[in-house]
Structure 1
Amino acid sequence: MTEFEVLAAQVRRLTDIEELRLLKARYFAWVDGREWQLLRGLFAEDCTFTSSARLPDLAGPDDFVDFVRATVEPGRSTHLGFMPRFEFADDDHATGTWSMFDVVELDDPRRPGWFGLGTYVERYRRVGGGWRITSWHLERGAVRRLSRPS
């Protein structure tokens, strides 16, 4: 490879990393903003969803979005991801690991909210020129119930 080709490949990889960071930023923003149709569009049709927490394994974006919606509504939430680490299998496949925490406050007094810590491990595939999530796994480190004021 020429020096120019090496530089061009490095720029492409940095562009891919930024696109994956924006993909996850949209995920967090659209969960918390209750933008369910936009959220659904982040996933490949064959995406799988698993968790170490007591969550069901889900197959497909529609089931996942329906589950998240039923879990966080009605209420407010904040989901944050940080310290992303990416590994690329090739130009069109990558794995990302994100540290995360979330706070969910629910309006239903029978359902306590929570504060959680954990790690997302995701697989990505370039589909139609853009990145999509093909595998979503949440490894919970801790979950604490939020107490309600008396």
Structure 2
Amino acid sequence: MTSLSYRTPSLDDLASVEEIKQLKARYCYYVDHQDWPRWASLFAPDAQVDLSAFSIARDPVTNERIPVPGFTFEFLEGLSAYEWPLIGRAAVQGFGESRGSLNRRSVHHVFTPEIELSSQSTARAVWPMEDYGWWPEGSKVVYMHGMGYYRETYERLDDQRWYIKTSVVSRSWIEWRR
């Protein structure tokens, strides 16, 4: 997301960027604490979320699937089998609650984003990320460690708060264990 022209950001621009950073921090906190109603409240009412690439890493240059020793692509694709994209807050919350029932624990880290304000009420960002997941003994898998990117758009609504409008995850590396 490079811009051909550069201008000095205004204080309002900097405040918007900081608000979006805080929004993403709450996203990670609510997911890791399985607070699905609050997680869903971070999304625009008509948000679209696509986590279909959750389970398989792809080479960021060639887009080829990266194998994980001991796992077939079909098995890994089955881990994220869901109707994508999720549309709307209710679908986002329902997805979280269905995943939360698996007694999975997670830790999500996001790193320095590239955020571009496209207007006073719209923005987009790329967030480098790393996450860990642990499932109870007897689950299909018991551990996951992945790295990749969130690609998101944001919208400032009438209440003057920023919300996630679209969110897509892509992985460039992932480790699974049974």
Quote the offset at 1:111 in angstroms.
2.5
| Structure 1 unpaired stretches of 5+ | 1-5
Residue 70 in structure 1 maps to residue 98 in structure 2: yes
Higher strand share: 1
**Cα drift, residue 146 of structure 1:** 2.8
Q: Distance in 2 between matches of 1:70 and 1:145?
A: 21
Structure 2 distance, partners of 1:62, 1:115, is 28
Aligned to 1:105: 134
The answer to whether 1:134 aligns with 2:165 is yes
Query: For residues 108 and 17 of structure 1, what CA distance do their matches in structure 2 show?
Result: 41
Does the CA contact (< 8 Å) of 1:79 and 1:100 recur in 2?
yes
Length, aligned pairs only: 141
Q: CA RMSD in A?
A: 1.9
- Asked if 1:60 is matched to 2:88, the reply is yes
Aligned-pair identity in percent equals 28
| Contiguous gaps of at least 5 residues in structure 2 | 1-6, 54-76
The question of whether the paired residues in 2 share the 8 Å contact of 1:74 and 1:108 is answered with: no
- Structure 1: 4+ residue segments shifted above 6 A: none
Instruction: Please state how far the C-alpha of 1:32 moved relative to its aligned partner.
Output: 0.3
Query: What TM-score comes out, normalization by structure 2 length?
Result: 0.72
Contact 2:34–2:96 (CA under 8 A) maintained in structure 1: no
Aligned pairs for 1:1-150 (under 5 A) are 10-51=10-51, 53=53, 54=77, 55=80, 56=82, 57=84, 58-72=86-100, 73-112=102-141, 113-127=143-157, 128-147=159-178
Structure 2 counterpart of 1:14, which letter? Answer: L
The structure, 1 or 2, with the larger RCO (C-alpha pairs under 8 Å, 6+ apart) is 2
- Structure (1/2) with the larger helix percentage: 1
Cα separation, 1, equivalents of 2:36 and 2:120: 29
Q: Which residue of 2 aligns with 1:3?
A: none
